[in-house]
Homo-oligomer: A and B are copies of this chain.
Amino acid sequence: MASIKDVAAEAGLSVATVSRALNGHPSVSPAARHRVRAAVEALGYRPNAVARSLRTDQTRTLGLVISDVMNPYFTELARSVEEEARALGYSVVIGNADERPDLQDHHVTTLLDRRIDGLLVSPTDGGSPGMLDAARAGTPMVFVDRWIPGVDVPVVRSDGRAAVRDLVAHLHGLGHRRLAIIAGPAATTTGRERVDAFREALGAYGLSLPGAYIGQGDFQAESGRRATERFLDLPEPPDVVFAADNLMALGALDAVRARGLRVPEDIALAAFDDIPWFVHTDPPVTAIAQPTRDLGQAAVRALVERIAGRAGESVTLPARLVVRRSCGEPGGSGGSPSSVRNRPTESPSPVQRSTP
């Protein structure tokens, strides 16, 4: 591959001048600029970003470590992160933790070794060694979706409390009283918060959340299946299962179908994180939708602020309830397609911004 030296030779200039011409430095004569352009063209020269990074101490690359690429929510998040980063002149390298702290640490370490300029993380756990080291090492960092309490890093996430209250109101209105949840790992913030929000919302209706109605999942489909089977084996199974993410909802659907039961007649289902397929499942699934693209965008902006040495703003955006048919319908079970409510329920909570 041609190097800057070759270009300099071809253009009859020094590498310094070539470098300046390439980087749009003002003090280069039009003639030199022109010869450089010609030489670059002739040689098909492309600057070596590795060498440049070593010299300038910046890679123009952001790292994104997400919990699970196969989860459509994170896929969409990754897409919006890449989009915003590209708009700001950055590349992004994605590391998929697959909900495994060891894999997460592997990616964080690899990314740091490659000297990314900043790191976006949705932590799989409460703070693995590699994770905490990174935060302490002073690498610009932002948490997205999930975060680690006590670490001084901006957090960009969505608050599902109001939407969960709306959901419980909806369920209560349909006559459901025995409500169960499939939780995510207690080591994650979203794993805990969604249970807390659910319990709190139940409390407002004088309902409790017994231990038997809390299934322990790991945000992946298989755990949703297992938790649902356990619910169905209970002497008094729940009326509703609320899965704390879409993959566990998929597992729940598998389990219900395997027993030959029907949703919502035999058991109702709702999920956190909305995805396009929920419109077409049998039945369409009532879900809580996050403003995923906005989150990705805000996270990148906060990170780029940090990289520039500024504060970097924490952002909390509201989630909203999307009612479909998986919890039953106002007029009783079954119901006609015409009674489908597919418009998002307006959430009263305003956009919240705060700096920790």
Contact B49 A113 (CB under 8 A): yes
Quick check: is A341 within 8 A (CB to CB) of the other chain?
no
B75, B106, B253, B281: the one contacting A70 at CB < 8 Å is B75
User: Contacts A75-B70, A221-B276, A277-B277 hold; do A50 and B115 have CB atoms under 8 A apart?
Assistant: yes
Docked complex Cα distance between A279 and B251 (Å): 11
Which residues from B are CB-within-8-Å of A115?
48-50
A134 to chain B, nearest CB (A): 11
Contact A110 B91 (CB under 8 A): yes
Interface code A241-256, partner B: CB below 8 Å = 1, 0 otherwise?
0000000001001100
Which residues from B are CB-within-8-Å of A94?
93-94
CB-based nearest B residue for A278? B277
B51, B250, B260, B276: the one contacting A276 at CB < 8 Å is B250
Contact A96 B79 (CB under 8 A): yes
Quick check: is A283 within 8 A (CB to CB) of the other chain?
yes
Taking CB atoms and an 8 Å cut-off, the chain A residues in 34-57 that contact chain B are 44, 46-51, 53-54
Docked complex Cα distance between A279 and B54 (Å): 50
Number of copies: 2
Quick check: is A20 within 8 A (CB to CB) of the other chain?
no
Interface code A282-318, partner B: CB below 8 Å = 1, 0 otherwise?
1110000000000000000000000000000000000
Quick check: is A112 within 8 A (CB to CB) of the other chain?
yes
Interface code A218-238, partner B: CB below 8 Å = 1, 0 otherwise?
000100000000000000000
Quick check: is A82 within 8 A (CB to CB) of the other chain?
yes
A133 to chain B, nearest CB (A): 8
Taking CB atoms and an 8 Å cut-off, the chain A residues in 94-124 that contact chain B are 94, 96, 106, 109-110, 112-115
User: Contacts A250-B276, A280-B257, A337-B260 hold; do A114 and B49 have CB atoms under 8 A apart?
Assistant: yes
